[in-house]
């Protein structure tokens, strides 16, 4: 199962960077010689009938897209929180 919101939120770690003025996201992908693809250490394609590399890459793309969407959501929420704090000062 390539991408679920719960899995994505579990794996997305948006880290605060330099002087707390930005967020950083690292996406880890492994492509094995046998065709298996992992994103964040979780296998994407099924091994029941051998690894279908095409399915793995498409699943990885879906997972990465959902991850970027979640990262964007976190960045927007952070920006709103910062603005709200500035408005109250």
User: Residue 76's pLDDT band (boundaries 50, 70, 90)?
Assistant: very high
| Residue of 85 and 15 predicted with greater confidence | 85
Residue 41 lies in a domain: yes
Residue 67 lies in a domain: yes
Residue 80 lies in a domain: no
Residue 88 lies in a domain: no
5-60: pLDDT as tens digits: 677 777 666 667 667 778 888 888 999 888 888 888 888 887 766 777 888 898 88
3-class secondary structure per residue, 34-46: CCCEEECCEECCC
Number of domains in the chain: 1
Residue 53 lies in a domain: yes
The pLDDT value recorded for residue 56 is: 86
pTM over 0.85: no
Say if residue 80 is exposed, middle or buried (CB neighbours under 10 Å; 0-12, 13-18, 19+).
exposed
Residue 84 lies in a domain: no
The pLDDT value recorded for residue 14 is: 67
- Structural domain of 46: 5-75
The pLDDT value recorded for residue 88 is: 67
Residue 48 lies in a domain: yes
Alpha carbon separation from 76 to 2, 15, 71, 72, 88 (Å, rounded) = 25, 14, 9, 6, 19
């Amino acid at each position: 199962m390539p991408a679920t919101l719960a899995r994505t939120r579990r794996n997305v770690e948006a880290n605060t960077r330099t002087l707390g003025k930005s967020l950083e996201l690292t996406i880890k992908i492994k492509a094995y010689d046998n065709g298996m693809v992992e994103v964040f250490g979780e296998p994407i394609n099924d091994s029941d009938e051998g690894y279908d590399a095409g399915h793995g890459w498409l699943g990885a793309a879906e997972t990465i897209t959902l991850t970027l969407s979640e990262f964007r959501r976190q960045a927007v929420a952070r920006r709103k929180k910062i603005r709200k704090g500035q408005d109250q000062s």
